[in-house]
Amino acid sequence: MMKNRKSNWALLAPMYVFTILFVALPILYMFLLSFLTRAEVWGVDFTFTLDNYKRIGEPLYLNTFVESLKLAFLSTLLVMLIGYPYGYFMARMSAVWKKRMLLLIMIPFWTSALIRLYGWIIVFRTNGVLDKLLMGLHITEEPLKLLYTYPAVVVGMVYSLLPFMILSVYSSAEKLDFTLAEAARDLGASSFKAFWTVSFKLTLPGLLSGVILSFIPSMGLFFIADILGGNKIVLVGSVIQEQLTKGRNQPFAAALSAVLMVLTTLMIRIYRKVTGTSELEGLV
């Protein structure tokens, strides 16, 4: 028994050391940092202050939070509306088609996210593929100038986050016993009612985990807004990056990150409360 316990600690040691040293302590340091003062030239002064948090309350920064949340909610909603039926239908396909579809989803997932966004630049650019197509079909008369607009950013977000939603819904719907919906129909439910009361209810954990998996990264994907939105749309992510690089204000960046982190962990907490599960479906 003693020997067993020792070998178990040997197994756990790398995980413990690594997690404490490079995850737990750095995150704690971030919270500490958010109460410190920026040094005159470079680095941090260890003087306690609440100014960083007060500054987040300023309209300029509060606005970026609101903007980011709005964009994140809008993207997540669209991802949900497009991704849920996709994942659900996929789960009802034959085994061969399921495999094919998974492969088709994985291919873009495996190519660089940036490069896929670059494809959208070509599409959206003034006189780009989309403009040419629309003007060729005489739907529009002049270029739409879609690039560097809000809709372009939304498309980019939805596009990047869609696979997460599809895979979570799919893994949840795949486990669903479709005869349950048939049983509901047999008991007199309309096909919509059968779907809503049985299938949808049972795939809700997948949908919610898809929401979490889309919402969390969407708060931080500043490069999408950067590339497709030009400098017009400023998100929390961009502000944090700016404060760290150009502003050299680590404490303020830390405060922004701390608020962002609290917001997202709260979301996960709510998810766990609602679904009663601890694992995110489709993630594992």
193-222 residues in contact with other proteins (CB under 8 A) are: 216-217, 219-222
Torsion, CA 115, CA 247, CA 150, CA 204, rounded to 10: 80
Question: Cβ of residue 35: shortest distance to other proteins, in angstroms?
Answer: 13
Smallest separation (angstroms) from other proteins to the CB of 149 = 17
**Considering the complex, what minimum distance in angstroms separates the CB of residue 63 from other proteins?**
18
Residue closer to other proteins by CB (options 55, 125) is 125
Interface positions, 148-167, toward other proteins (CB under 8 A): 159, 162
Stretch that binds other proteins, among 8-16, 54-62, 73-81, 196-204 (CB under 8 A): 8-16
The dihedral region occupied by 249, where left means phi > 0, alpha psi between -120 and 50, and beta the remainder, is beta
Contact 184, 113 (CB under 8 A): no
SS3 content of the chain, % helix, strand, coil (to 5): 75, 0, 25
133 counts as binding other proteins under rule CB under 8 A: no
| Cβ-contact 36, 251 below 8 angstroms | yes
Within 71-130, the residues that bind other proteins by CB under 8 A are: 82, 85-86, 89-90, 92-94, 101, 103-123, 125-129
Helix extents (H) in 175-249:
179-186, 191-194, 200-218, 222-229, 236-245
| 69 binds other proteins per the rule CB under 8 A | no
What does DSSP say about strands 44-45 and 37-38: parallel, antiparallel, or unpaired? antiparallel
Binding residue (CB under 8 A) for other proteins from 199, 257, 275, 281: 257
> Measuring CA to CA, how many Å separate 117 from each of 72, 113, 120, 157, 207?
18, 6, 5, 9, 25
Q: Measured between alpha carbons, how far is 40 from 42 in angstroms, rounded to an integer?
A: 6
* Using rule CB under 8 A, residue 2 touches other proteins: no
Closer to other proteins by Cβ: residue 204 or 244: 244
- In the bound state with other proteins, the residue whose beta carbon lies nearer, of 204 and 272, is 272
In the region spanning residues 26 to 45, those forming contacts with other proteins, defined by CB under 8 A, are 26-27, 29-30, 33, 43-44
